[in-house]
Chain A
Amino acid sequence: MSSDIFVWIAAFLTIAIYSFLYKDNPLYKAAEHLFVGVSVGYSIVILYFNVVSPRLLVPLFQEGDWVLIFPALIGLLMVSRFFPKYDWLSRITIAFVLGISTGINLPLIIQASLLKQLQGTMLAMTNLNDILIVVGVFCVMIYFYFSSEHKGIVNSVSKIGILFIMVGFGASFGYTVMARISLLIGRLEFLFHDWIHLIK
């Protein structure tokens, strides 16, 4: 067995989390709360030392870059959310962020997520894959078309659409199983290898 105290702590927390399989219990809750707390604490430290200190405090107070007061003040307005009487001030910050992000994002998102995707479905249909893509997109679109009742040909096409959707769900399920089992394998390997040294 390992003589490293941190390995023991990690093993204890792993078992505490998996104890949920039996039922919800205080050990699981304690490990879960610890995880949330540590994650938040870690992010705060990272953000302070990578962002707040080098990008704001040092330039502002040591290098005299006073322009930074304006973005700092705009950011600080978000704290007004804690005071109901003045919480309207936070809307200035939200409006600023929304305005800038919408302006930057809109053209690029339309280009990358809409136009390029449309282009990807406009195929010459010279091979089976292309035919499957075009037919699949068309049938699934018809399935999600609710402006007319699904009867007759519309119903038949939408049922083909369901088949394509089911294939998509199946693929997602397979990948999800792989992802979850991967995490479980990782933990078991840690317990058997690093903790109790059952496997070399």
Chain B
Amino acid sequence: MTKEQRFTVTRWIIFGLVALALIIPIVYNKYIKLPDTSSRVVKNIYDHIESLPEGSSIIMSIDFDPSSDEELRPMVMALLWHAFKKNLRVIGMTIWDAAAGGTLIDIFTTVAKEAKKQDGVDYAIMPFKPGSSAIILMLSQDIFAAYPQDYKKAETRDMPVFKGVKSIRDMKFAMCVSAGQAVDIWIVYGKEKGKMPLGAGCTGVMATDYYPYLQSKQLLGLMGGLGAAAQYEVLIDKRGTATDSMKPQTVVHALIIVLIIIGNIIYFINRQKT
């Protein structure tokens, strides 16, 4: 067998093992139990929302498209459910054009329906506007100049959900859940100008980029990927898709650790031979 053939066979063995490590836990999900844990950075967000008095206004920027839906939707749904359960007033917005259609509206209306919340009274959804940083700068000065109308073209000034709110400075919390640069934009423009506590949610790939902002206290908390969403579901005691998905995830992680160890052993043996 040539080196190339060995590589192809090894590749297919790894694909097969990963497929099995995923499919078996997905099919037999209910038989797998994972311990309930939550990290400090995720719990910070939970604790902050928990500490807010009823009727407080918060803003959520949903900046991802369907390609990151699997990772970020459970996160937003858990956060939104928690906010609604605490009777907070939630403003939903996006600075990402691809999130404007399905993602933002679908998540808000789904969770609001389940939590029996009313559009315009308990929550409001803003339409997409271009110029991400300019929009957030406008929000820090006058929210009605940035969004005179919601996505249904209703006047925002008349909505009870905006009562006592003029800008994001009046918000008790801002949360940006993003699969792109939106968190950076919120840190630079939203946090600096708005001064409100800011939390971030992002895909797993991006998570390590934002840890320095926790140290500098520019971020109150950070939710990275599906793992963080599952932790939040545990905190609010509403286990959903993230908790279920962490079971196959854990099995695959264990498999990858074993494969890394085997790969390293083979590497050192080959090095000694040569």
Interface residues of A (CB under 8 A from B): 21, 39, 42-43, 46-47, 50-51, 101, 104-105, 108-109, 111-113, 116-117, 119-121, 133, 168, 171-172, 174-179, 181-189, 192, 198-199
- Contacts A178-B227, A185-B226 aside, 10 further interface pairs with beta carbons under 8 A come to A39-B65, A117-B216, A120-B216, A171-B208, A172-B208, A179-B203, A182-B245, A188-B22, A199-B27, A199-B29
Q: Mark B189-216, 1 if CB is under 8 A from A, else 0.
A: 1011100000000011101100010011
Known: A104-B137, A112-B218. A181 touches B22 (CB 8 A): yes
Contact yes or no, A42 B203, CB < 8 A: no
Q: Mark B65-81, 1 if CB is under 8 A from A, else 0.
A: 10101110000000000
Contact yes or no, B133 A105, CB < 8 A: yes
Interface residues of B (CB under 8 A from A): 15, 22-23, 26-27, 29, 65, 67, 69-71, 97-98, 100-101, 127-130, 133-134, 137, 187-189, 191-193, 203-205, 207-208, 212, 215-218, 224-227, 241, 245, 248-249, 252-253, 256
Bound form: Cα–Cα A178–B29 in Å: 18
Chain B hits for A133, CB < 8 A: 215
> Can you spell out 6 A-B residue pairs with CB atoms less than 8 angstroms apart?
A104-B137, A179-B226, A182-B249, A186-B245, A188-B26, A188-B248
| Identity of the chain A residue whose Cβ is nearest the Cβ of B260 in the assembled complex | A173
- Give chain A's interface secondary structure class: helix
Separation in Å of the A118 CB from the closest CB of chain B? Answer: 9
Chain B hits for A181, CB < 8 A: 22, 248-249, 252-253
Chain A hits for B70, CB < 8 A: 182-183, 185-187
Chain B hits for A43, CB < 8 A: 97-98
Name A185's contact: one of B193, B208, B249 (CB within 8 Å): B249
Separation in Å of the B106 CB from the closest CB of chain A? Answer: 14
Bound form: Cα–Cα A199–B92 in Å: 33
Contact yes or no, A199 B26, CB < 8 A: yes
A-B contact count (CB 8 A): 124
Known: A105-B133, A176-B204, A179-B225. A112 touches B187 (CB 8 A): yes
Separation in Å of the A111 CB from the closest CB of chain B? Answer: 6
Separation in Å of the A187 CB from the closest CB of chain B? Answer: 8
Contact yes or no, B253 A192, CB < 8 A: no
Bound form: Cα–Cα A177–B128 in Å: 32
Contact yes or no, B208 A42, CB < 8 A: no
Chain B hits for A117, CB < 8 A: 212, 216
Contact yes or no, B128 A50, CB < 8 A: yes
Q: Which of B23, B97, B217, B241 has the most CB of A within 10 A?
A: B97
Contact yes or no, A108 B192, CB < 8 A: yes
Bound form: Cα–Cα A115–B15 in Å: 46
Contact yes or no, B205 A176, CB < 8 A: yes
Contact yes or no, A21 B15, CB < 8 A: yes
Name B188's contact: one of A42, A113, A120 (CB within 8 Å): A113
Chain A hits for B207, CB < 8 A: 175
Contact yes or no, A185 B215, CB < 8 A: no
Contact yes or no, A183 B98, CB < 8 A: no
Contact yes or no, B245 A189, CB < 8 A: yes
Contact yes or no, A178 B98, CB < 8 A: no
Bound form: Cα–Cα A104–B217 in Å: 23
Bound form: Cα–Cα A138–B203 in Å: 29
Chain B hits for A177, CB < 8 A: 204, 252-253, 256
Chain A hits for B128, CB < 8 A: 46, 50-51
Known: A51-B130, A185-B70. A112 touches B191 (CB 8 A): yes
Known: A175-B207, A178-B249. A46 touches B27 (CB 8 A): no
Contact yes or no, B188 A46, CB < 8 A: no
Bound form: Cα–Cα A133–B203 in Å: 24
| Identity of the chain A residue whose Cβ is nearest the Cβ of B27 in the assembled complex | A199
